[in-house]
Amino acid sequence: MTTQKRVGVIGWPVEHSLSPAMHNAAFRALGMDDWLYDLVPIPPDILRQSLRTLKDEGGYVGVNVTVPHKERVLPYVRPDDRAQAIGAVNTIDFRGYKATNTDVVGFMNDLAAHDIDVEGASVLVIGAGGAARAAVYGLAEAGGQLSIVNRTQERAQRLINDLNIQAQIVDWRSVEAVQPALIVNCTSVGMWPKVDDCVWPDDVSFPEHVTVYDMVYRPQQTRLMTKAEARGGRAITGLGMLVRQGAAAFEIWTGNEAPVDVMFEAVEAALRERAE
């Protein structure tokens, strides 16, 4: 059997990506035996020519893009409004070099899957990096009342300016006044192996009955989530966002509806394997 259609993830390094497991499981489940998703390590200095080679000689339909290429790739593709505003691309379709950022739809679809309605709700976003930009874009579009707390305040201000959205910047001393219905951790604090870290300072009281969405998915129960639950709140791991951003990319490349349940199982199995 020959592989005719390739997709993959470009990054430097890319070894730890869960995407091959997720996408290849989806191809198998749908009987798409001529599709393959693989890891494509590309050093930054040859990014532009590598894109051409993948498209013209490698048989790639498209790619996911991860660090450190998410921003650097912008001049070489045709980003949609979303990717342009966020300033980062995570999915390229080589047919037309169309590029987008499926983290937005991945995140918003996962909120919807958990019956979380953002419209008019007070939402506290923690962080102001690339992940936060995607979240804020989606939350603002959905009509959330946004507050942003970030270690580096200027970065939060830049985010607001670049995305041209309404949001207030708060610091940890004034965060209690926000009274959020939803808190979204868009930092990597608490991620394995530093699982005892928590982005919420110990000397700041945690609100009661609030929903926390933690983009960290390894571990699937973070200290921040435990904190929310201890105060009568609800906690959601970011695993669903990972799967749903992948599902959106899958649909762009293949035109087929992504088997989300299969992709969930594959990611969970891959994470279990890594824990062993």
Catalytic residue set: 70
72 contributes a contact to ligand ATR by CB under 6 A? no
d(CA 36, CA 20): 8
d(CA 177, CA 205): 11
199 contributes a contact to ligand ATR by CB under 6 A? yes
98 contributes a contact to ligand ATR by CB under 6 A? no
- What end-to-end distance do the CA atoms of the chain give, in Å? 33
d(CA 101, CA 109): 14
d(CA 214, CA 191): 10
When the beta carbons of 25 and 156 are compared against ligand ATR, the nearer one is 156
Residues 128 and 161 sit within 8 Å (Cβ to Cβ): no
187 contributes a contact to ligand ATR by CB under 6 A? yes
When the beta carbons of 25 and 83 are compared against ligand ATR, the nearer one is 83
Which part of the chain contacts ligand ATR (CB under 6 A), choosing from 79-87, 164-172, 183-191, 200-208? 183-191
CB of 33 to ligand ATR, least distance (A): 34
158 contributes a contact to ligand ATR by CB under 6 A? no
Task: Tally the C-alpha atoms within 13 A of residue 207's C-alpha that lie toward its C-beta.
Answer: 20
131 contributes a contact to ligand ATR by CB under 6 A? yes
Picking from 53, 99, 54, 40, the residue whose alpha carbon sits closest to that of residue 72 is 99
Among 65, 89, 128, 258, which residue interacts with ligand ATR (rule: CB under 6 A)? Answer: 128
Q: Which residues form the interface with ligand ATR (CB under 6 A)?
A: 127-132, 150-152, 155, 186-189, 199
